[in-house]
């Protein structure tokens, strides 16, 4: 099978389905509908490999992630987690340890990811959403962090990010009560960018990804780094310094900055090369 990419994607035999709906756009579909797209340990490692490949693949600029069936993702596979809690089980191999939901919930990465939330986004699935760069949700999507009701905690990165996105009081209501919220409320709180009809959610996410992918691959990475450092770093000035020293310095060495300025001067559409960042 041939792929519109420089290198073939990693194998995804158990959890993920990959496709390429538009130039420079990767569509990732979590495909375990009978388990509400809950993520097993094997699924975690698949996703880890896909993100690493995305960031290294020069022909791709942005990814969209969605789910099959009535759920985006129910988060951790609690049945597998329960099975890892026996007295004779190795504590270091319990699901709640690393990689846990590092593949997306704690992913930093270089390239943006858009969530197309087609249904339930619970637990780790909701943590996925909180860490995505843009979020499109269907009208009937539901978001929740019910971990406190199951004796565990949302340790995949959602809690500090929720504080930054929605504030302490709303984050506390959401996480400590463990009660779900609607797509409309998630949009009101700033977790979701836009709410659309269920049948439009993937198309809208791909449309946004396509518009994003029309821009300079280097500039996308550099700009996202600036946003992320501003979100995750306490000092504004320190965030700026980090990006200036890393991504901005590399952007200036590449061909895309020259092409963008030249195309503007010549009043034509730029022809981008793969990112050097």
pTM: 0.92
Cα separations (Å) of 187 from 40, 63, 65, 128, 183? 29, 21, 18, 16, 6
CATH of domain 16-213: 3.90.226.10
Query: Which sign does the torsion angle of CA 153, 155, 161, 164 carry?
Result: positive
Q: Where are the alpha helices (DSSP H) in the chain?
A: 41-56, 78-83, 124-131, 158-166, 168-177, 183-189, 201-213, 217-232, 236-243, 249-251, 256-265
Confidence band (pLDDT; 50, 70, 90) for 93?
Answer: low
Query: Is 147 assigned a catalytic role?
Result: yes
Reply yes or no on whether the pLDDT at 182 is more than 80: yes
The predicted-structure confidence for 141-174, as pLDDT tens digits, reads as follows: 999 999 999 898 888 889 999 999 999 999 999 9
pLDDT at position 233, please?
86
Is 76 or 4 the better-scoring residue by pLDDT?
4
Q: From CA 205, how far away is CA 52, in angstroms rounded?
A: 21
pLDDT, averaged across the chain: 91
Which of 127, 204, 229, 247 is catalytic? The answer is: 127
pLDDT at position 234, please?
75
Is 101 or 127 the better-scoring residue by pLDDT?
127
Query: Is 76 assigned a catalytic role?
Result: yes
Which of 119, 123, 124, 156 is catalytic? The answer is: 124
pLDDT at position 171, please?
97
Counting every residue written for the chain, the total comes to 277
pLDDT at position 15, please?
94
Query: Is 230 assigned a catalytic role?
Result: no
Task: Classify burial at 250, counting beta carbons within 10 Å of its beta carbon; exposed 0-12, middle 13-18, buried 19 or more.
Answer: middle
Q: How many DSSP H helices and E strands does the chain contain?
A: 11, 10
Confidence band (pLDDT; 50, 70, 90) for 77?
Answer: low
Which of 46, 57, 147, 204 is catalytic? The answer is: 147
In the β-sheet with 71-73, what is the strand arrangement from edge to edge?
71-73, 120-122, 142-144, 181-182
Confidence band (pLDDT; 50, 70, 90) for 83?
Answer: low
Query: Is 179 assigned a catalytic role?
Result: no
Which of 38, 76, 121, 137 is catalytic? The answer is: 76
Strands 120-122 and 142-144: parallel
């Amino acid at each position: 099978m041939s792929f519109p990419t420089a290198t073939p994607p990693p194998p995804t035999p158990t959890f993920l389905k990959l496709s390429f709906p538009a130039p420079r756009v990767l569509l990732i579909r979590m495909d375990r509908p009978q388990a509400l797209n809950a993520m097993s340990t094997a699924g975690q490692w698949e996703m880890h490999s896909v993100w690493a490949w995305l960031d290294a693949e020069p022909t791709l600029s942005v990814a969209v992630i969605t789910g099959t069936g009535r759920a985006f993702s129910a988060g951790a596979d609690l049945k597998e987690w329960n099975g890892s809690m026996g007295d004779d089980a190795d504590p270091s191999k319990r699901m709640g340890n690393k990689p846990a939901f590092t593949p997306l919930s704690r992913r930093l990465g270089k390239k943006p990811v858009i969530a197309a939330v087609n249904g339930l986004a619970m637990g780790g699935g909701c943590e996925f959403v909180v860490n995505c760069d843009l979020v499109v949700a269907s009208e009937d999507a539901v978001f929740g962090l019910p971990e406190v009701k199951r004796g565990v905690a949302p340790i995949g990165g959602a809690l500090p990010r929720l504080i930054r996105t929605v504030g302490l009081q709303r984050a506390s209501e959401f996480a400590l009560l463990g009660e779900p919220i609607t797509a409309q409320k998630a949009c009101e709180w700033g977790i979701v960018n836009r709410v659309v009809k269920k049948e439009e959610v993937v198309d809208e996410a791909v449309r946004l990804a396509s518009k994003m992918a029309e821009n300079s691959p280097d500039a996308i990475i550099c700009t996202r780094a600036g946003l992320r450092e501003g979100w995750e770093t306490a000092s504004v000035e320190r965030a700026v310094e980090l990006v200036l020293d890393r991504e901005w310095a590399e952007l200036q060495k590449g061909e895309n900055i020259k092409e963008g300025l030249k195309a503007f001067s010549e009043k034509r559409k730029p022809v981008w090369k793969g990112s050097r960042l």
